[in-house]
Amino acid sequence: MKGPTAQTAPPALPVLRRAVRWAFSALVPAELVLVLCVLGGVRIPPAARLATESVMLLLAAVSATLICLDHRRHRRAGLDRRSAFLAAIADTVPAAVRKLTAHEVFLSTSFLRWVTRRGPHGVRDGDLPVPYAPGQTATTYGFLFVCVVETVALAFLIPWPVVHAVTLVLDIWGCYFVIALHASCVVRPHVVGADGSLRLRYGALLDIRIPADRIASVRLCREFPDGKLAVVDEHGVADMAVAGQTTVTVELTGPVRYVRALGRPAEARAFRFYAEDPASAVAALRSHHPVPGRTGTAGGYPGSRSCPTVGGHAGVAAPCDTGPTSGG
């Protein structure tokens, strides 16, 4: 009796959480505007600054109290300290906010790893890194050039101090984001594990782990999907395109669940992703997943000798390797 009772939150806590979330949604932009005004030389009345800071401190204290109460509740339910803390954070902080915060942390650490040339992240002995960043390098640096030109131009053209400060901060952050995202794509490649597992990533935004026993078949297949990153289509296929194309198709024996960039859960029965050297990636995966025969695919998809047949999904494909999934 005591365990289930401890797992149930008091009725007032959900209401208090919603109130805190709405208050933060209104006050965080106000705090940002206040900081930018100060940087821009605008004189802020002391009463307004004091009121804003007081409310922010109050909300921080209430949030900390909520997290402590939830942590105690999860501990009583039998979770260890780390799991209880993560569960308490999940109760109070929205998934999108958690993901965006994690993205910023991963972008910063990836940028430092890229600058210091420490090598790829998450690649152990026996693993094969599968780079994909070279496929978008030209586009990324072209976009960075446009961002720099825009930043310099607006810095000279905008005469109003507040607007100038806001625009300058946003433009500089935009330039940093482009560089850091490219750096995260460089140091966080796809990984074919030594045990035959597959880890698909897109910089700091996406990380999908596919166990070895879920991989049914793999083949070379160049396609040009038009969907968004890791969005599952009606056939259960998720595309992780780079520069608008994918080069490897992996079909699964069953659905794999993952979390998209902004925290929304999804599951897919097949993945199409881009690899700079797709032949090496396919060879490494096939060495762990030999499947006899040349026709038919596992995972509930119709067998076919042509490339664009994942779930019956047609697309542009060239070149396409439709040989057996066995090694050699």
Residue 242, judged by CB atoms within 10 A of its CB (0-12, 13-18, 19+), counts as buried
SS (H, E, C) 261-281: CCCCEEEEEEEEECCCCHHHH
For 247-298, what is each residue's pLDDT tens digit? 999 999 999 999 888 778 899 999 999 999 999 999 999 988 665 444 333 3
For 21-39, what is each residue's pLDDT tens digit? 777 666 666 666 666 666 6
Strands 198-202 and 206-210: antiparallel
E strand intervals along 154-214: 190-192, 198-202, 206-210
| 246 touches 272 (CB < 8 A) | yes
Amino acid sitting at position 76: R
Residue 86: band (very low, low, confident or very high) from pLDDT cuts 50, 70, 90: confident
pLDDT at 162: 75
The pTM of this model reads 0.71
| Helix/strand/coil for 249 | strand
pLDDT at 93: 75
